[in-house]
Amino acid sequence: MTTTGRTYFTHLDWALTADADDRQLRDATLVIERDRILAIGPSDEVLAEHPPSERDEVRDARRLGVTPGFVDTHVHLSETLSRAVFPDNLATRAWVFHWAKPFYAHVSESDESVSVSLGTTEMLRCGTTCFLDMGAQNDPGVTARAAAETGIRGITGRHAADNKPAEIPPGWSDEMVEHHFFPNHEVALEVLEQCVRDWDGYADGRIRCWVNIEGKEPCTLELHVGARALAERLGVGTTYHIASNIEESQISERRYGRWPVTRIAEHDGLGSNLVLAHAVAVNDEEVGLLASHGTSVAFCPSTSLKLAKGATCIGKYPELLDAGVTVGLGTDGVSAAGNMNLMRQLYLVAGLFKDARLDADLVGARKALRMATIEGARALGWDDEIGSLEPGKKADFVLFDLDHFEWAPFHDPLQALVWSVSSASIAETWVDGRRLYHDGRVVTVDEPALRAEARERAAAIVKRAGLHGDVPVTTSLYE
């Protein structure tokens, strides 16, 4: 992009705007001025209203298509070095307590910085321009600084819990337990408030910080409810895992006579600044509760498949959408899902419920794209600036190479985007008016060196964590 003028992408083959009317433009022109979209529309109209000057960069974009940048509403950037370490015969609770926790226990600050850089680089390659990270294993500043350096937009926080298990499992280090588990919810909230004050608005506002907690059994009801209330007072959001599988909800019912979402709702814990990760095991009444409180949900299709969460057999995601709940897409971490490619989630969410319920009208391509863009931005409270291609919004977008074999031929770009193509045909990814990925590389990172360092650090963490030996594949923790 030129420093003194505008950047024009003229005669784009198509643009999928994800605006309120889901406009699909053909022969479109997109104009960028500094970090924002100045204009997008039919080429003849835009060029007549905003004729380029000699200072402007004008690119002929006839063999390109454009979408808004994708928004990942649930990810664990501190997990990126654990790719393909955990076996695929684990249900959620064993995965967390006997594999993920030991791995996290041995991720140092320098490991986590590399993990975040590697993860955000993968995101940019796959068209993701904004993320909601569950929370740093170390100081959130590690995540904020590393993400800011790659140029991506996102939200992070600090991992927090306050309900230690009665017996500490093998692999959990004393340092991890002390750092992760606060003595009570009041102490946890004090620390989380300071994290928001330190890091919210970092990198000229590109990095935000929320009052994030782990959720589920490791957190008391007071911490679940208190995190949302504190976030509201600070003017930010919060996110945590809840109702992530049927076992969790059944344990809650045995203990408290309520499923998790109902229990939180009864204590004024739901609200429009809350994003619930997974929310697989919810009932019809809870769908209504989420809708009436404006609470959002981050659905992670790949994780549901890999960890047998049950989205297709018990999940209420079509009902949530019909009720008006904002549902975004998440990749989760690379061990939970296997990848950080939101385009895979697009494909899965468009079709999973069609097949599971024998109803070809469920979800589909249009809703899937909205979940990956404007609905994800709305869940993050950022839809005033990102999530769609509209004048005045931030210049976060993805350009697709229509000469790539995946696009030859095509008729409807929306159908092709969701059902036919992959991130392999992404030509460029832009964030905040900067071209961060093009010519097959992320320009802000030395990728070969980063990957080499990541391989070494990952192997060392696995060895320190003892994940190369006999590790349990079931658990009775918190039952």
Instruction: Let me know if residue 447 belongs to a domain.
Output: no
Total count of domains within the chain: 2
**Whether the Cβ atoms of residue 269 and residue 225 lie closer than 8 Å to each other:** yes
Instruction: Let me know if residue 31 belongs to a domain.
Output: yes
**Whether the Cβ atoms of residue 159 and residue 112 lie closer than 8 Å to each other:** no
pLDDT value at residue 476: 80
The reported pTM is 0.97
Rounded to whole angstroms, the Cα distance separating 297 from 317 reads 9
Instruction: Let me know if residue 117 belongs to a domain.
Output: yes
Residue found under tokens 């790719």: 83
pLDDT value at residue 364: 98
- Domain holding 181, by residue range, is 70-379
Asked whether the bond before 409 is cis by omega within 30 degrees of 0, the reply is: yes
Phi first, then psi, for residue 65 (nearest 5°) are: -125, 155
323 and 189 fall within a common domain: yes
Per-residue pLDDT of the chain (479 residues; tens, 9 = 90+): 445 689 999 999 999 999 999 999 999 999 999 999 999 999 999 999 999 999 999 999 999 999 999 999 999 999 999 999 999 999 888 889 999 999 999 999 999 999 999 999 999 999 999 999 999 999 999 999 999 999 999 999 999 999 999 889 888 999 999 999 999 999 999 999 999 999 999 999 999 999 999 999 999 999 999 999 999 999 999 999 999 999 999 999 999 999 999 999 999 999 999 999 999 999 999 999 999 999 999 999 999 999 999 999 999 999 999 999 999 999 999 999 999 999 999 999 999 999 999 999 999 999 999 999 999 999 999 999 999 999 999 999 999 999 999 999 999 999 999 999 999 999 999 999 999 999 999 999 999 999 999 999 999 999 999 887 788 888 888 77
25 and 135 fall within a common domain: no
Instruction: Let me know if residue 398 belongs to a domain.
Output: yes
Instruction: Let me know if residue 456 belongs to a domain.
Output: no
Collapsing DSSP to helix, strand or coil, 167 comes out as coil
Q: How is residue 259 annotated by DSSP?
A: -
Beta bridge partners of 298: 277, 328
> Among 479, 464, 478, 472, which Cα is nearest to 94's?
472
Which residue type, as a one-letter code, is found at position 152? I
Query: What angle, 0 to 180 degrees and rounded to 10, lies between the N-to-C axes of helices 221-234 and 185-199?
Result: 30
116 and 31 fall within a common domain: no
pLDDT value at residue 4: 63
**Judging by DSSP bridges, how do beta strands 153-156 and 128-133 pair with one another?**
parallel
Structure tokens, 402: 């229509």
Rounded to whole angstroms, the Cα distance separating 297 from 319 reads 12
117 and 208 fall within a common domain: yes
Q: How is residue 69 annotated by DSSP?
A: P
312 and 433 fall within a common domain: no
Instruction: Let me know if residue 74 belongs to a domain.
Output: yes
Instruction: Let me know if residue 273 belongs to a domain.
Output: yes
113 and 214 fall within a common domain: yes
Residue found under tokens 């705007």: 17
